[in-house]
Structure 1
């Protein structure tokens, strides 16, 4: 796994933490420039994740003999255990302390849909969010994995077009015909394709340039996000995310040996899953004990970081190895380290 991509993945995870800090502690009401950036622009962390996902899955499956079934088993083994663990933890937290999670409920169909990555409103007319709120992005991820698995049946050079066609049929035509939830018609799915394109460029040796060019790309992408525009999300945040990813990939040689960044990237999935319950409990305590929000944020960040490291070491890695043995599959070199 490229360390530059791991570093960007960690950055994306932690700016999502910042977004939810603003949501839970301030209801998105910004009081300074940093709070404004987090509240209004921090959602780009998800877009970065999606572009990285397309890139990683394409690179990890290239030049490898993978059947769709084997690919999906490995994806499920890598993603599902931690997500189920923290979803069930949310069930316990909501049951034990409903006052901390006043907007959550434990109707069994809702919990089951959450566990099975089925997009559906928690209540009629509400937005589509699973019990572990960040799981809405995993609904898209699982769809992408399923569609990409079919692309493994064709040559590598055709996979982009197969995935693009299937995304159109499922997310746009299928949604328009009422065959799938309108949830999936979100243009954010195009960001997976951007990641695949970057992967194809990387495989062909096109992600090489003098450092000034990718650095300029990072500046341009950052400015584009900061100023924004009234355009679809895939253009407003997806394209800058793609520029950030390709810029980091191009700068990979400068990240060699920075093991700390790799560790941060390794833990990013657990950071993503853990942080909302941690922040919710922190907000509840801060409000009751009149603790400064930023002091509590430091406590929550420390708890999230330590919890994510332990989660990666003893939940993600351990269950993945065990499930691989149960499924009777061995991941190709590199794929075992890939995750959302």
Structure 2
């Protein structure tokens, strides 16, 4: 795993945390440039996530042959246990303590659909959001996994084009004719393709390590996100996010040995899953005792998110993933994976 991308993944996760902090505590009515940035631009962390996801999935599957079934199983084992745990926890909280949450509605049907990554209208009436609201991005992730699994049915040189064609047919065709949920009509899914494109460029040696030109790309992407409204999310935030990811890939030599950044990136998925629950608890503290919102955020929410995400990563993500992989049926002996270096390609 590229440490620069792990660091960027951590940054993206905490951008989303700050975005939801502004939503839950201030209803996006922010004062000051920092508050305004996270209110209006913190959601761009999701776009960075999607580009990173396309890059990581593409690179991680190059060094070993796989079947579509094995690829899907590995990916689902990676994301499902923690997601199901926090979805169940959220469902229990909605039933038992819904009065303390802004949208206390949950039904058995929507709960089960959430577990199965099926987009459905939230019973709270505010859109196609699962029981654990942040899971809407995982619905796109699983959709991308399904499409990406088709790559293993085609020659390697044709695989990125095949994924692009299938995504285009579904987003631009199937959704318009009602053959697929309108949820998938969002062009945000093309951000996965941007990540694949960066992966192809890196594999072919087109991305050269550097300092100033990668920093310039990162700066250009950040400025674009800051100034552009996401009227067309792919163009306004997706492409700038790709510039940021591309710049970080080229900066990889400067991240060697950065264990803390790698550790933060490792925990980013758990940060993403747990932060809403912690922020809701923080809001209850503010409402009950009239504490300062920023004081509660930095003194209670941030430390607790950090601690819980570390425990979640160690106990849910790593341990359950290893247990599930050991339990899952194995395919016939596979060749030993080669290290992910250009020399092996």
TM-score (structure 2 length as normaliser): 0.94
The residue aligned with 1:338 is none
Q: Distance in 2 between matches of 1:219 and 1:171?
A: 31
SS at match of 2:99: coil
The residue aligned with 1:261 is 261
After TM superposition, give the deviation of residue 7 of structure 1 in Å. Answer: 0.1
**Cα RMSD, aligned residues only:** 1.7
The residue aligned with 1:16 is 16
SS at match of 1:119: coil
The residue aligned with 2:131 is 131
Q: Distance in 1 between matches of 2:304 and 2:102?
A: 22
Q: Distance in 2 between matches of 1:181 and 1:253?
A: 42
The residue aligned with 1:203 is 203
The residue aligned with 2:308 is 307
Q: Distance in 2 between matches of 1:153 and 1:45?
A: 32
Q: Distance in 2 between matches of 1:326 and 1:217?
A: 44
Q: What do residues 229-269 of structure 1 show as CA deviations (whole Å, max 9, x unaligned)?
A: 56410010001100010100000000000000000000000
Q: Distance in 1 between matches of 2:338 and 2:87?
A: 30
After TM superposition, give the deviation of residue 205 of structure 1 in Å. Answer: 1.2
After TM superposition, give the deviation of residue 106 of structure 1 in Å. Answer: 2.4
SS at match of 1:99: helix
Q: Distance in 1 between matches of 2:28 and 2:186?
A: 23
SS at match of 1:103: coil
1:112 is the counterpart of 2:118: no
Higher mean C-alpha deviation, range 258-267 or range 223-232: 223-232
Structure 1 segments, 4+ long, off by >4 Å, are 330-335
CA contact (8 A) 1:104 1:131 kept: no
Query: What are the equivalent positions in structure 2 for 1:17-36 lying under 5 Å apart?
Result: 17-36=17-36
Q: Distance in 2 between matches of 1:30 and 1:264?
A: 27
Query: What are the equivalent positions in structure 2 for 1:269-284 lying under 5 Å apart?
Result: 269-284=269-284
SS at match of 2:153: coil
Unpaired runs of at least 5, structure 2: 341-345
Q: What do residues 47-81 of structure 1 show as CA deviations (whole Å, max 9, x unaligned)?
A: 00000000000000013110000000001100100
Cα distance change, pair 62–230 in 1 and its aligned pair in 2 (3 A)? closer
CA contact (8 A) 2:209 2:250 kept: yes
CA contact (8 A) 2:64 2:336 kept: no
**Whose relative contact order is higher, 1 or 2, with alpha carbons under 8 Å and at least 6 apart?**
1
SS at match of 2:100: coil
Query: What are the equivalent positions in structure 2 for 1:69-148 lying under 5 Å apart?
Result: 69-123=69-123, 126-148=126-148
The residue aligned with 1:240 is 240
